[in-house]
Amino acid sequence: MTRRPIIAANWKMHHDHLVAIQVVQKLSYRLERDDYEACDVVICAPFTDLRTLQTLTEADRIPILLGAQNCHWQDRGAFTGEVSPVMLAKLNIRYVIVGHSERRQLFDETDDMVNRKAKAVLHHEMTPIVCVGETLEERDRGDTETRVTDQIAAAFAGIRGADAERCVVAYEPIWAIGTGRNATPDDANATIATIRAALRRLVSDAADDIRIQYGGSVKPGNIAELMRMSDIDGALVGGASLDPDEFARIVQYRR
């Protein structure tokens, strides 16, 4: 089965809204119609950038899709500092990252919270990018398969059918994020094959429609080899996505 590739930028806590305008404009100058036809190009920006980028992309008809880096699972309430999925949907956000390793590690997000967020994102007609991945200690113990399988089972609890098909999964080994180290394409593909097998047990035929990205020090120099792997459908790009030239080269991996 051919799944449409998805190349998503995760800017993390970088770029104020003025810089965001410049970066997206420069990126749009470097990308061509063929690039947008070949894959979904997504920018997951800080919350403060989203309204500005919505206005820019809609006014200039830039076919870059917008994503958020997180959300709460409740539509509204006394949750000071949180952003609800309703607020994001009103900005025409298409994707929301849930369960990023930094959220799990630094902000104590649990598997149950990730599941609630994924359901809330789906409820409001957006697509969750569900992140899974192992630590270096888990990898060294040989627990990668168990860890990602458990995370998938928890994240997709109660998500079935058409909702499951709409999801994106990102395999981002925690030990590779921001370290300059990355899994070899074969290793990444093998773990992603494990993730897809776990999805097949949970959501049956829908698993073949779910796109699975690799994230972890993705750069222009390794994207083409990663995308040649049979089970890798895209990339969740961190540091290299901050520079429009670098990110454009990643989107244009086919060249």
What residues are labeled active site?
100, 172
d(CA 12, CA 26): 19
d(CA 131, CA 168): 9
Angle at 89 between CA 127 and CA 15, to 5 degrees: 85
Neighbouring C-alpha atoms within 13 Å toward the C-beta of 49 = 25
Q: Give CA torsion, residues 65, 66, 67, 73, to 10 deg.
A: -110
What are phi and psi for residue 87, nearest 5 degrees?
-60, -40
Neighbouring C-alpha atoms within 13 Å toward the C-beta of 50 = 26
List helix spans (H) across 41-142.
Answer: 47-59, 85-89, 101-106, 111-123, 136-140
Give the tokens for residue 17.
């809204």
Name the residue among 24, 118, 38, 110 with its Cα closest to residue 70: 118
Neighbouring C-alpha atoms within 13 Å toward the C-beta of 168 = 30
Residue with tokens 């990110």: 247
Question: Is residue 4 a contact partner of residue 211, using CB atoms and an 8 Å limit?
Answer: yes
d(CA 171, CA 101): 10
